[in-house]
Structure 1
Amino acid sequence: MKIKIERSQKEKTPKKKKERVITVGKHRKMVLVLWFLLFCSLAFGIYKNFTAIDQHTTHEKVVVKEKIVNTSGVENFTMDFAKEYFSWKNDKEVIEKRMDNLGQYLTEEGLSLAQDMVRADIPTSSEVQAVKILDVEKHSEEFIVSFLINQKVTEEKKAQQGSSAYRVTIFEDKKGNHIVTSLPTMIAKPEKAQYKEKQVESDSEIDAKTTEEITEFLETFFKIYPTASEKEIEYFAESGAIQPINTNLKLVELVSPVYRQKGENIQVSIMVRYLDDASKVMNSFQYCFILQKLRNWKIIDAY
Structure 2
Amino acid sequence: MNKKQQQKSAKPRIKRVGLRHTTTIFCWLLLLISVGFGIYKSFTAVDTHTIQQKTIVKTKIVDTNPMTTFVTDFAKIYYAWEPKQEHLDQRQVQLKQYLSDQLITLNAETIRTDIPTKSTVRAIKIWQVKQLKKNNYQVLFSVDQDIEQNKGKDKKITPVSASYLTTVFQNKQKDLVITQNPTVAASPTKANLKEKIQQADGSVNTQTTKRVEKFLTTFFTLYPKGTENELQYYVEGGTKPLNKDYKFVELINPIFKKSGRKLEAIITVKYLDTVTNMTQLSQYQLILKKTADNWIIKAGL
TM-score, normalisation: structure 1: 0.82
Question: 1:41 Cα deviation (Å)?
Answer: 4.1
What do the CA deviations read for 1:6-39 (whole angstroms, capped 9, x no partner)?
A: xxxxxxxxxx9xx7999xxxxxxxx999655411
In the alignment, structure 1 residue 286 sits paired with structure 2 residue 280: no
In the alignment, structure 1 residue 64 sits paired with structure 2 residue 57: yes
Question: 1:62 Cα deviation (Å)?
Answer: 2.0
Give structure 2 stretches of 5+ with no counterpart. Answer: 1-10, 18-26
Q: Distance in 2 between matches of 1:208 and 1:218?
A: 15
Superposition pairs of residues 72-83 of structure 1, within 5 angstroms: 72-83=65-76
Q: Distance in 2 between matches of 1:20 and 1:302?
A: 97
Aligned residue number for residue 209 of structure 1: 207
Aligned residue number for residue 167 of structure 1: 165
Superposition pairs of residues 263-278 of structure 1, within 5 angstroms: 263-278=260-275
Q: Distance in 2 between matches of 1:142 and 1:158?
A: 40
Question: 1:243 Cα deviation (Å)?
Answer: 2.4
Q: Distance in 2 between matches of 1:180 and 1:142?
A: 10
In the alignment, structure 1 residue 260 sits paired with structure 2 residue 248: no
2:272 counterpart SS class: strand
Aligned residue number for residue 182 of structure 1: 180
Q: Distance in 1 between matches of 2:177 and 2:296?
A: 59
In the alignment, structure 1 residue 142 sits paired with structure 2 residue 136: yes
2:74 counterpart SS class: helix
Question: 1:97 Cα deviation (Å)?
Answer: 1.2
Aligned residue number for residue 198 of structure 2: 200
Aligned residue number for residue 7 of structure 2: none
Q: Which of 280, 296, 299 in structure 2 is aligned with 1:298?
A: 296
Of 265-274 and 287-296, more deviation after overlay is shown by: 287-296
Give structure 1 stretches of 5+ with no counterpart. Answer: 1-15, 23-30
Amino acid in the other structure paired with 1:283: Q
Q: Distance in 2 between matches of 1:110 and 1:33?
A: 91
Q: Which of 123, 139, 150 in structure 2 is aligned with 1:130?
A: 123
Aligned residue number for residue 244 of structure 1: 241
Amino acid in the other structure paired with 2:34: L
1:226 counterpart SS class: coil
Question: 1:274 Cα deviation (Å)?
Answer: 0.8
In the alignment, structure 1 residue 86 sits paired with structure 2 residue 79: yes
1:83 counterpart SS class: helix
Amino acid in the other structure paired with 2:283: Q
1:63 counterpart SS class: coil
Q: Distance in 2 between matches of 1:209 and 1:59?
A: 61
Tell me the C-alpha RMSD between the 2 structures: 2.9
Identity of aligned residues (%): 34
Amino acid in the other structure paired with 1:302: G
Q: How many residues align?
A: 274
What do the CA deviations read for 1:143-186 (whole angstroms, capped 9, x no partner)?
A: 11111111111111111112111111111111111111121111
1:198 counterpart SS class: coil
In the alignment, structure 1 residue 152 sits paired with structure 2 residue 149: no
TM-score, normalisation: structure 2: 0.83
Q: Distance in 1 between matches of 2:201 and 2:251?
A: 18
Aligned residue number for residue 219 of structure 1: 217
Q: Distance in 1 between matches of 2:16 and 2:274?
A: 125
Structure 1 runs of 4+ aligned residues shifted over 6 Å read 19-22, 31-34
Question: 1:120 Cα deviation (Å)?
Answer: 2.2
Amino acid in the other structure paired with 1:158: K
